[in-house]
């Protein structure tokens, strides 16, 4: 595992970084990462991490960069991450996340690329959302069924009305005409 934590170097403050990317790590993201109060960069991308994103990551108040992309994470993005006011780079791209992207805080500043590759993820600014597209397709299909159903009802009503006219007006007139001829 090639992770490193760099707090200071020769009296010059550096960003406190934990980079565990590209390590084939498996299992869940540890909730204990939320105890790293002074961390500024947490990079867990390109692993095989699974499970939910722990809401404890919302305790990383000094974090600037949080990259959880290219894993197997599922569930929703915790709303606790909205509290991360210094978060300027964020990515959960290419996981299997679902539900709604939190709104507020820095989330309105992240581009769609921060969320892409998650088929079940929807949000205010995330346009390419399969759930929304499925909903629109279902609505369009229901509207199509509704219009076909309406058409069939009107055709049935028209045929019934035509038969009623024939039964009550045309047939008696034909009978009266035939009776007069006899």
Which pLDDT score, from 0 to 100, does residue 158 have?
A: 73
Burial class from Cβ neighbours inside 10 Å (0-12, 13-18, 19+) for residue 53 reads: buried
Which pLDDT score, from 0 to 100, does residue 12 have?
A: 55
Which pLDDT score, from 0 to 100, does residue 171 have?
A: 67
Q: Does residue 43 have a pLDDT over 70? A: yes
pLDDT digits (tens, 9 = 90+) for 74-83: 999 999 999 9
What is the Cα–Cα distance from 108 to 52, expressed in whole angstroms? 22
Structure tokens that stand for 70 in this block: 């290219």
Which pLDDT score, from 0 to 100, does residue 141 have?
A: 52
Which range among 60-69, 123-132, 134-143 shows the weakest confidence by mean pLDDT? 134-143
Per-residue pLDDT, averaged over 51-62, amounts to 97
| Structural contact between residues 99 and 121, judged by C-beta atoms closer than 8 angstroms | yes
* pTM to 2 decimal places: 0.65
Per-residue pLDDT, averaged over 27-53, amounts to 97
Q: Does residue 145 have a pLDDT over 60? A: no
pLDDT digits (tens, 9 = 90+) for 84-127: 999 999 999 999 999 999 988 999 899 999 999 998 888 876 65
pLDDT digits (tens, 9 = 90+) for 84-93: 999 999 999 9
């Amino acid at each position: 595992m090639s992770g490193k934590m760099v707090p200071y170097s020769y009296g010059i403050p550096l960003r406190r970084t934990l980079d565990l990317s590209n390590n084939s790590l498996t299992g869940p993201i540890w909730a204990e990462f939320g105890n790293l109060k002074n961390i500024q960069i947490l990079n867990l991308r390109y692993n095989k991490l699974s499970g939910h994103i722990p809401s404890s990551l919302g305790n990383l108040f000094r974090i600037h960069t949080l990259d959880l992309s290219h894993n197997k994470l599922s569930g929703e993005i915790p709303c606790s991450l909205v509290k991360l006011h210094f978060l300027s780079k964020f990515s959960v791209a290419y996981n299997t996340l679902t539900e709604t992207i939190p709104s507020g805080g820095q989330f309105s500043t992240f581009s769609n690329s921060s969320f892409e590759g998650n088929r079940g993820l929807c949000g205010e600014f995330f346009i390419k959302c399969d759930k929304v597209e499925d909903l629109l397709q279902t609505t369009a299909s229901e509207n199509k069924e509704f219009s076909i159903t309406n058409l069939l009802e009107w055709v049935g009503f028209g045929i019934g009305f035509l038969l009623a006219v024939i039964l009550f007006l045309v047939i008696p007139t034909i009978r009266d005409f035939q009776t007069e001829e006899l």
